[in-house]
Amino acid sequence: MITSATCSRIVFCILWLCVSCQICLSQDQKKFSYGILIDNTGSMRSQFALVHELGKAIVQHVHDRGPVSIFDFESQGIGEASKAIPTAKIEVAQDEQALNRTFDNIYVQGGQTMLLDAIELIGDRLTEKTADAERVVILITDGEDRVSQIRQQTLVEKLKRQGIKVYAIGLVKELDSKGGLTRPGTQSKAMDLLKTITKVTGGRVVFPKSNNVDIKDVLTELQLPLQ
């Protein structure tokens, strides 16, 4: 005969198993937060239509897996002293239409690129606004940095402390020749920068080999973390 004490123990065990299973499921379902950098500086002018397409494709790919923030550059200053300052356009949003409208309102800006400073800004904002999520920075850029204040090693160490992974689509093909000028070594320097930052933070970088980019193939190769 099953006593009331035995029934109580059975009920307790069942409830404990249910709670344990729920905890395990919750732990398996990671939360993600994505910060996308749209490089809209002058060096990207000839590829900017592709940058837009890639940005929208990434949003479509990740927006239902976690909040998305979009960043770009805004020109500040005049002439040779002008800088492209990193700026937040929309933050912690999952409405695909609102995110796409943000892309539609991003235009090419002048000024010297502050790429490393932009990555630092995105990392700080994601950490501030989505501290309980796994934070992912996604760069769509040619990888050229000119006047950032933060040093590369300092940035990498900070990103590692924050637990942020950096992924990048490096549109570097045109770097060694811009506006009829030959600039040897510019492409390899940009590639090394993107390779280092993505590898050390646990992310990944993709370098499309031609201007005829298959966006689906790029995203497959990039392997963005999803919930």
Domain spans in the chain, listed from the N-terminal domain onward: 1-30, 31-222
Q: With a cut of 80, say whether residue 18 has pLDDT above it.
A: no
Arithmetic mean of pLDDT over the chain: 88
pLDDT (average), residues 10-23: 47
Residue 210 DSSP class: S
Q: How confident is the model at residue 23 (pLDDT cuts 50, 70, 90)?
A: very low
For residue range 134-175, list pLDDT tens digits in order. Answer: 999 999 999 999 999 999 999 999 999 999 999 999 999 888
pLDDT (average), residues 65-76: 97
Q: What is the CATH number of domain 31-222?
A: 3.40.50.410
Residue 211 DSSP class: S
User: What's the pLDDT score for residue 13?
Assistant: 46
Distances (CA, A) of 88 to 25, 49, 70, 157: 34, 20, 6, 23
Higher pLDDT, 193 or 2: 193
Other Cβ atoms within 10 Å of 133 Cβ, number: 18
For residue range 167-210, list pLDDT tens digits in order. Answer: 999 999 888 765 545 466 889 999 999 999 999 999 999 999 87
User: Could you tell me what percentage of the chain is helix, strand and coil, using 3-state DSSP and rounding each to the nearest 5?
Assistant: 50, 25, 30
Q: With a cut of 90, say whether residue 79 has pLDDT above it.
A: no
What amino acid occupies position 3? Answer: T
Rounded Cα distance, 33 and 74, in Å: 23
User: What's the pLDDT score for residue 9?
Assistant: 57
The answer to whether residues 100 and 66 touch, using CB atoms and an 8 Å cutoff, is: no
- This prediction has a pTM of 0.86
By CB atoms closer than 10 A (0-12, 13-18, 19+), residue 104 is exposed
pLDDT (average), residues 36-56: 95
